[in-house]
Amino acid sequence: MAYASNNDKMLEAVLTDLDLMKFGKYSPSEISSVYQAISSDNPVVSTVAQIIQRSSEGATEKEIYKEVTEYLKKNV
């Protein structure tokens, strides 16, 4: 994973967790940035990216929780 921003570095740190990779059935090498990850068809990858991105934008925990919950209801 090539990264340019702190968000990309954080995404890489989370997505390279072996247990999460097994659970989500993805390879971190498939994701090059947080923006690409947000649009991923993989709900694990997309959810992690959304949390990181929204947190960096200053969203509250409540806002992030609501957005992630709605996303997961629609996609899982």
> In this predicted model, what pLDDT tens digit does every residue of 16-64 receive, in sequence order?
999 999 999 999 888 989 999 999 999 999 999 999 999 999 999 999 9
H/E stretch holding 47: helix 43-56
pLDDT at 30: 85
- Name the packing angle between helices 61-75 and 43-56 (round to 10°): 160
Return the structure tokens found at 33. Answer: 């940035």
User: Could you give the CA distance from residue 7 to residue 45 in angstroms, rounded to a whole number?
Assistant: 13
pLDDT at 2: 52
Q: What backbone torsions phi and psi does residue 32 show, to the nearest 5 degrees? A: -105, -20
